[in-house]
């Protein structure tokens, strides 16, 4: 029996101990802070992930809308520049060939596997923010830190366009 698709999930992928690779987690943290002042729709869950494909698939299983964000490190990066794909996992897979992540296996592999086993969310919005530094250490570079509030605003719009009455945001993971 197929379960009905429920709630909205925002997944920040990353590692806060690898400088700009922590961008996804930083956006999720900001959304959580902002939800105390301006609640997200009642069925919104915020999650952090290390990007391991099995865990990503488990998070977005039976989800109506999944918004996923991660840092990327292309060869000619413009730190802070963001990319958005909506309902086009194939576009992300094509783009992943030219981008470099700090995760050995990650989002692209999760999308391929999820597609092959029929376990993708009902609707998918993907964001990538170009980073400059993924060396060990804490803190985002200034350009990536500047992109975090813009991404949080854009994701809030994505969530609200899906609809639902406002309530306190929830956290998972």
pLDDT at 46: 96
pLDDT at 172: 38
Reported as a single tens digit per residue, the pLDDT across 154-173 is: 999 999 887 443 434 333 33
Please tell me the distance from the alpha carbon of residue 133 to that of residue 73, in angstroms, as a whole number: 8
Residues across the chain: 173
34-54 mean pLDDT:
91
Reported as a single tens digit per residue, the pLDDT across 61-92 is: 889 999 999 999 988 889 999 999 886 655 55
Entry pTM: 0.82
Reported as a single tens digit per residue, the pLDDT across 94-134 is: 555 444 444 455 787 888 888 888 888 888 899 999 999 99
Number of H helices, E strands in the chain: 5, 6
pLDDT at 110: 84
Give the SS3 label for residue 39: coil
């Amino acid at each position: 029996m197929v379960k009905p698709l429920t709630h909205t999930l925002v997944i920040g992928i990353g590692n806060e101990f690898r400088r700009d690779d922590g961008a996804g987690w930083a956006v999720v943290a900001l959304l959580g802070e902002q939800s105390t002042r301006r609640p997200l729709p009642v069925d919104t869950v915020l999650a952090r992930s290390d990007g391991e494909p099995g865990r990503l698939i488990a998070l977005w299983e039976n989800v109506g809308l999944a918004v996923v964000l991660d840092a990327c490190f292309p060869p000619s990066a413009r730190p802070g520049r963001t990319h958005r794909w909506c309902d086009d996992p194939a576009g992300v897979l094509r783009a992943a060939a030219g981008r470099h992540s700090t995760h050995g296996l990650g989002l692209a592999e999760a999308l391929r596997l999820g597609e092959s086993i029929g376990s993708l969310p009902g609707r998918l919005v993907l964001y990538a923010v170009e980073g400059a530094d993924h060396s060990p250490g804490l803190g985002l570079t200034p350009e990536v830190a500047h992109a975090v509030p813009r991404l949080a605003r854009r994701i809030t719009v994505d969530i609200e366009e899906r609809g639902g009455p406002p309530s306190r945001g929830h956290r998972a993971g």
